[in-house]
A and B are shown apart, each in its own frame.
Chain A
Amino acid sequence: MRWLAAILAALSIGFTVGTARAETLIAAMSSHQIQITSNYTGSQLTVFGLVERDGRTVARGDPYDIIVTVRGPKRMLLVREKERLGPIWINRTQRRFPDNPVFLHVASNRPIAEMMSNETAQRDRIGLVNAERPSGSWVDLDPGARRFRESLVRIMQGKDLYGYEERGVTFLSNALFSAPVDIPATAPTGSYTVDIVLYSGGVPLARQQTNFEVIKTGIEQRLALGAYDWALLYGLVTVLLALFLGWGASVIFRRD
């Protein structure tokens, strides 16, 4: 409960300096670093946040809604579609998605469709399909682009790299909320950003960003670094090890 204490401390500071009329968001991660060791099989983090208001904040008729979007390191992704050519099926069309996160996890306290209109979700890039939509309306004119983006999301969801939890955010009180984030072992190493947006009645009120990183440590880190920095030596060691194991087996199993 260390982070809870931290949030409460931040809250008290917030009260003394807060002069804004709208709400502000305060967010904290249960940890800012995930370390990969040889028995690593994935990890879980928790995002904690607080909706901060003071006496001058306007009263809201609608409840607070929170959406947490976790984005992993960005890579260029290729989405290919198989089509029929004569009797065989081959990859014919492909689309590039430059700078697309390889990990994307969206969580909200209730289904996004109940919180806001479709247009707002598209404009504010809320939800799995909208999160990485390029800006500009030309995309909507191209049904092909949307089809490829939806396929990308579907396939990545199958690999547990993309995910949407429509009740992944829990309000612990009127203002304090938490959202667990599962990081599967296949999630890439690198830096992750966490975007938290506060909505009420379909209108965005405040946003906050935090981050964490996934890194290799210990022997995993040394081997990965060795493979890059000492490529030739690494290759020679691997192949000598392979030949040695091969030789060893023939000695151990020798019968004739």
Chain B
Amino acid sequence: MQIYLPIAELPISVLMVLGLSGAVGFISGLFGVGGGFLLTPLLIFLDIPPAVAVATVAAQVAGSSMTGVLTYLRRKALDLKLGGVLVSGGILGTVLGVLFFNTMKRLGQLDLVITLSYVTLFSIIGGLMLYDALRAMLRVRAGKPARLKRRGGMHPWWMGLPFRQRFYRSGLYCSVIPIALLAVIIGFIGAVLGVGGGFILVPGLIYFFRIPPAVVVGTSLFQILVTMTGATVLHAVTNQSVDIVLAVLLLLGGVIGAQFGGRAARSLNVESFRLLLALLILSVGLRFAIELFIPPSEPFSVVVPESGR
């Protein structure tokens, strides 16, 4: 069954979009990432114009993270105070990112910047996580505890910076400076790459601040919900590229997928959770690396600049 998308201006198979968004929604619910970094490239692959893909995925991510936020809120696995700090840092980062985005666009090197950032970011983050997860698994096999227990007085130096705050839900007593800095970086990357940034935020909060994974996922979803709601409205107002029909289709698949993902997350132990997320991020990085390093079969590409619409 085909349906014509009014903004993307092409027909698309309803079942395929539902299947695709359902699968991405499952991953999104499982790991607490928005899923935009998977869905956007997939939609572009289906010939949907990049601007429409980025803007419409923002709406879909907002909707599916809403489901997640409500679920985690009920389970009291959402730190609203921590989320508030993340959101305010994220806004600053987004503004900086949009400025950088426009500068690179003017210089004509935006494509290269985006591909290079995907490759380096995903390879580094995925690689580090994989290394850590494998090491922890080996420790378990050797009969030792997976990692050193968190003890009082054993905090990394950045947690002891000024403006320390207590985040009860996360069991964290930490300076807001490094948390806000992490949020600024994520907002920046999100604006440049057109992704929510959950795939950086989740490992960042787990590794740098040792916050329990369940709370991290809920809080990350909250931050994504706020940013993506804003992003959808901004895209609609500035470039009219949000496709409401596509958004509804993506949401129907996505929210259902996210439900099952959220269920599966509870039965998954922390170590396999980390290993799987690491592998997922690495494989996306690898896909972009292939594009960069393998000689292309068709070196030419045709683009219709946005202003031509």
Q: Which A residues form the contact surface with B (CB < 8 A)?
A: 36-42, 75-84, 87-91, 94, 102, 148, 151-152, 154-156, 159, 185-186, 188-189, 216, 219-221, 223-224, 227-228, 231-232, 234-239, 241-243, 245-250, 253, 256
* Contacting pair B237 A238 (CB below 8 A): no
| Partner pick for A239 among B10, B229, B255, B291, CB 8 A cutoff | B229
Q: Which 10 A-B pairs have the closest CB atoms?
A: A235-B236, A246-B66, A242-B63, A249-B255, A151-B300, A75-B308, A235-B233, A246-B63, A250-B70, A223-B6
The residue in chain A whose Cβ has the minimal distance to the Cβ of B309 is A75
CB neighbours of A247 from chain B (8 A): 66-67, 70
* Inter-chain contacts of A246 with B (CB < 8 A): 62-67, 70, 251, 255
Do A185 and B10 form a contact, CB below 8 Å, given A89-B295, A235-B242, A246-B251?
yes
Report the bound CA distance from A185 to B13 in whole Å.
13
In residues 277-304 of chain B, which contact A (Cβ within 8 Å)? 291-296, 298-304
Q: Mark B1-16, 1 if CB is under 8 A from A, else 0.
A: 0111011011100000
Evaluate contact between A40 and B74: CB separation under 8 angstroms.
Answer: no
Across-interface contacts of A250 in B (CB, < 8 A): 66-67, 70-71, 255, 259
From known contacts A89-B295, A186-B47, A224-B6, infer whether A234 and B244 are also in contact, taking CB-CB under 8 Å. Answer: yes
The main secondary structure of chain B at its interface with chain A is helix
Interface size class of B (residues with CB under 8 A): 35 or more
Please state if B3 and A91 are interface contacts (CB–CB under 8 Å).
Answer: no
Contacting residues of chain B (194-226) with chain A, CB-CB under 8 angstroms: none
Asked if B186 is an interface residue, CB under 8 A from chain A, the answer is no
CB of B247 within 8 Å of the partner chain: yes
Question: Contact at A234–B236, with CB atoms within 8 Å?
Answer: yes
> What sequence of 0s and 1s flags, for each residue 222-245 of chain B, a beta carbon within 8 Å of any chain A beta carbon?
000000010011111100101011
The reply to whether A186 and B9 contact each other, CB–CB distance below 8 Å, is: yes
Residues in chain B near residue A238, CB distance under 8 A: 59, 232, 236, 242, 244, 247
B75 touches A256 (CB 8 A): yes
Instruction: Say yes or no for B248: interface residue by CB 8 A criterion.
Output: yes
Cα A228 to Cα B148 in complex, Å, equals 56
CB-CB under 8 A from A88, the residues of chain B are: 292-293
Q: Does B258 contact A (CB under 8 A)?
A: yes
Give A52 Cβ to nearest chain B Cβ, in Å.
39
Task: Quote the shortest CB–CB distance from A239 to chain B (angstroms).
Answer: 5
Extra inter-chain contacts (15) besides given A38-B4, A247-B67, CB under 8 Å:
A77-B302, A79-B302, A81-B299, A88-B292, A89-B293, A90-B115, A102-B304, A155-B298, A156-B302, A219-B6, A239-B59, A242-B232, A246-B251, A248-B255, A249-B255
Contacts A/B (CB < 8 Å), 6 sampled? A75-B304, A89-B294, A219-B6, A232-B237, A249-B258, A256-B74
Cα–Cα distance between A189 and B309 once the two chains are bound (Å): 10
Q: Are A155 and B236 in contact (CB under 8 A)?
A: no
Contact A80 B300 (CB under 8 A): yes
B63 touches A243 (CB 8 A): yes
Could you give, for residues 42-75 of chain B, a 1 whenever the CB lies within 8 Å of some chain A CB and a 0 otherwise?
A: 0000010000000000011011111100110011
CB <8 Å contact, B7 and A242: no
Please tell me which one of the listed residues B67, B236, B303 contacts residue A78 in the complex, with CB atoms under 8 A apart: B303
Contact of A89 among B60, B232, B296 (CB under 8 A): B296
* Contact across chains for B236 and A231 when beta carbons are under 8 A apart: yes
Please give, as numbers and ranges, the residues of chain A lying within 8 Å of B62 by CB-CB distance: 239, 242-243, 246
B64 proximity list for chain A (CB < 8 A): 246
- Residues from chain B with Cβ under 8 Å of A253 in the complex: 256, 259
Chain B positions within 8 Å of A256 at CB level: 74-75
